[in-house]
Amino acid sequence: MTESEFHKLLQRYLVGQCTPEEQALVEHWYDQLEQAEGPVLRAQNQAEVEQAIWARLMQNRRSVRPEPRVVPMWESSPLRWAAALVLLAVSIGLLMLATNRLQMPAPLTPVASVDGWLQQTNPTQQVQYFRLPDSSRISLHPGSSLRYRTALAGPRREVHLEGEAFFEVSKNPRRPFLVFTKQVVTTVLGTSFRVKAAAGQDASVAVLEGKVAVQAREGAQLDASPAHPAALGVLLLPNQQVVYSAARRHLKKELVDRPVVLAPQPFEFEARPVAEVLGALEKAYGVDIVYDKAKLANCTVSITFYDEPLFEKLGLLCKSLGAYYTLSDASILIHSEGCQSQLGG
């Protein structure tokens, strides 16, 4: 297997076309990434691939459990388990051979300062992974640095970021986790989100799971939380992000560029009400879709969605309805004059 074939394997995984053996292989590779012990892709979109894989693992954990089945004795015998372990070992060996052109990451070593703070810096060209003392997991992007107190001491878990990082914060309702950048303060109790704060650019915070409170750094209320956000702050839910404009000192809430499925739904509709289709999209992606219910009340549509991104799904639906959609803050607005006769009703 060449590096190109390995990339194709990752793409098949992201669209759900892997065999169970290939899926196990990719997830084992992902576990190695989190532990900073496995190969790191040199591809420019390595961080996006890693986050997409992680999001897909979350979706799999949320999916409905399969019906139980009776397992014949030979399937659960020690010989079969031994054979499965041998197959896994061979597969892992093949993966390691296939990635001989990939580079092993060097573990990050925090640098201590005299004032009781530690700093992690990523001088490489690849995303680096490490854990904080509270077991929170950090994906630190190239050229970025994270500063925090030794053992995260104090009533709040405070870290200071320059650059970009993806956080998976361990839950602790009694000790909020605060991410400081030069422009914004992000507060969570335990969730997953990304912060971008590159020098000279607007800062942004995007949420994958849970709730996140974001406010401007200047005059920030440090006791604010997702349960009690600051008066001038923004509360973000999964698939939402906020962009802070330093020039206007303004926080703008919006949807992320590529929302992920949060609660899988059936996406095959045969002569079903349009409202039912829109409701399924709302539940799947956790988004708010606004439309004129009176105009679409008698409209039906036959459509099947597969692995298209949310906005592509909306485009296909709107095309079949002769409608269009726009975005307003974190909401989706459907503009339609009503169904036509050929659409059913």
Segment 187-206 shows an average pLDDT of 91
- Domain membership flag for residue 214: yes
Q: Residue 133 and residue 149: Cα distance in Å, rounded?
A: 10
- Indicate which CATH number applies to the domain containing 310: 3.55.50.30
Quick one: how far is CA 78 from the chain centroid? Answer: 38
- Domain membership flag for residue 105: no
Q: Which long-range contacts (CB under 8 A, 24 or more apart) does 211-215 make?
A: 211/235, 211/236, 211/237, 212/186, 212/187, 212/188, 212/236, 213/186, 213/187, 213/188, 214/184, 214/185, 214/186, 214/187, 214/242, 214/244, 214/251, 215/184, 215/185, 215/187, 215/251
Question: 192 and 132, same structural domain?
Answer: yes
For residue range 270-287, list pLDDT tens digits in order: 999 999 999 999 999 999
Q: What end-to-end distance do the CA atoms of the chain give, in Å?
A: 52
Segment 292-318 shows an average pLDDT of 94
- Indicate which CATH number applies to the domain containing 199: 2.60.120.1440
Half-sphere exposure of 242 (CA within 13 A, CB side): 24
pLDDT of residue 342: 42
For residue range 78-120, list pLDDT tens digits in order: 544 444 444 444 444 444 444 433 344 455 666 766 577 899 9
Question: 280 and 211, same structural domain?
Answer: no
- Domain membership flag for residue 150: yes
pLDDT of residue 231: 86
Quick one: how far is CA 287 from the chain centroid? Answer: 15
CA 30, 32, 36, 42 dihedral sign is negative
182, 138, 140, 176: which is closest to 158 by C-alpha? Answer: 176
Half-sphere exposure of 323 (CA within 13 A, CB side): 26
Tokens representing 134 are 């509270």
For residue range 40-78, list pLDDT tens digits in order: 443 444 555 555 555 555 555 444 333 333 333 334 445
Question: 75 and 20, same structural domain?
Answer: yes
Burial class (CB in 10 A: 0-12, 13-18, 19+), 123: exposed
Question: 164 and 234, same structural domain?
Answer: yes
pLDDT of residue 11: 66
- 319: Cβ–Cβ under 8 A, 6 or more apart, which residues? none
Question: 118 and 36, same structural domain?
Answer: no
- Domain membership flag for residue 11: yes
Question: 180 and 278, same structural domain?
Answer: no
Q: Residue 212 and residue 26: Cα distance in Å, rounded?
A: 30
CB 304 within 8 A of CB 295: no
pLDDT of residue 55: 55
Question: 251 and 116, same structural domain?
Answer: yes
- Domain membership flag for residue 187: yes
Question: 145 and 203, same structural domain?
Answer: yes
pLDDT of residue 232: 87
- Domain membership flag for residue 303: yes
Q: Residue 18 and residue 9: Cα distance in Å, rounded?
A: 7
pLDDT of residue 82: 46
266 against 47, higher pLDDT: 266
Last residue of a domain, one of 220, 255, 290: 255
Tokens representing 27 are 């997830």
Question: 137 and 219, same structural domain?
Answer: yes
Question: 148 and 93, same structural domain?
Answer: no
Tokens representing 275 are 């409202």
- Domain membership flag for residue 118: yes
- 61: Cβ–Cβ under 8 A, 6 or more apart, which residues? none
Last residue of a domain, one of 203, 231, 255: 255
Could you tell me the residue range of the domain that residue 282 belongs to?
A: 268-343
Q: How many domains does the chain have?
A: 3
Q: What is the DSSP string of 297-309?
A: TT-EEEEE--S--
Q: Residue 295 and residue 18: Cα distance in Å, rounded?
A: 42
Question: 11 and 93, same structural domain?
Answer: yes
Question: 279 and 197, same structural domain?
Answer: no
- Domain membership flag for residue 134: yes
Q: Residue 150 and residue 155: Cα distance in Å, rounded?
A: 13
- Residue 19's pLDDT band, with cuts at 50, 70 and 90, is confident
CB 58 within 8 A of CB 191: no
CB 25 within 8 A of CB 92: yes
